[in-house]
């Protein structure tokens, strides 16, 4: 089981944002279901942060598409791990908008991960993922 986490910068005109995010979600749910991929996508005004987990070849294939996708840029892979179990077994690609779990520390944390990739930021990111998983937020997928 491979897990990849990355942070990137959206390149979506604000007027098209809802539509584009819906398109990404529809494709993700279809393709991830077919390939056995789960994970989550965090969306803020400035950043995307995504965790993808699943069979190694499948995650690598989807990641290739994601890296080539013009709807975002400055894609920084912050973690690539082999794990023996899934963290988000039920989420084909749950999307969390910043507003859903309003947390003032989120944007600075993503900025830090994006620019420094440091261990401390990664540990805080892990805690955030645990909080999201445990929270009452309904995953959107």
Ligand X SMILES: Cc1cc2nc3c(=O)[nH]c(=O)nc-3n(C[C@H](O)[C@H](O)[C@H](O)COP(=O)(O)O)c2cc1C
Tell me which residues touch ligand X (CB under 6 A). Answer: 24, 27-28, 31-32, 41, 48, 50, 52, 62, 65-66, 69, 71-72, 93
Pick 41 or 106: Cβ nearer ligand X: 41
Pick 62 or 121: Cβ nearer ligand X: 62
At closest approach, how far in Å is the CB of 28 from ligand X? 4
Pick 27 or 122: Cβ nearer ligand X: 27
Cα dist from 102 to 26, 44, 50, 61, 128, whole Å: 24, 10, 17, 32, 12
Q: What residues does 24 pair with on adjacent strands?
A: none
According to DSSP H, which parts of the chain are helical?
Answer: 17-35, 56-67, 106-116, 119-134
At closest approach, how far in Å is the CB of 50 from ligand X? 5
100-118 burial code (b ≥16 CB/10 A, e <16): beeeeebeebbebbbeeee
At closest approach, how far in Å is the CB of 39 from ligand X? 6
At closest approach, how far in Å is the CB of 48 from ligand X? 4
């Amino acid at each position: 089981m491979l897990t990849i986490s990355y942070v990137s910068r959206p390149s979506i005109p604000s007027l098209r944002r809802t539509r584009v995010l819906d398109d990404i979600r529809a494709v993700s749910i279809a393709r991830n279901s077919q390939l056995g991929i789960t994970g989550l996508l965090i969306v803020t005004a400035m950043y995307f942060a995504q965790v993808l987990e699943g069979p190694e070849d499948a995650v690598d294939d989807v990641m290739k598409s994601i890296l080539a996708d013009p709807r975002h840029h400055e894609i920084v892979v912050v973690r690539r791990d082999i794990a023996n179990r899934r963290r988000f077994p039920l989420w084909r690609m749950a999307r969390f908008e910043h507003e859903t779990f309003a947390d003032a520390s989120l944007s600075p944390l993503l900025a830090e991960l994006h620019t420094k990739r440091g261990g401390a930021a990664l540990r805080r990111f892990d805690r955030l993922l645990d909080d999201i998983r445990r929270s009452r937020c309904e995953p959107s997928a």
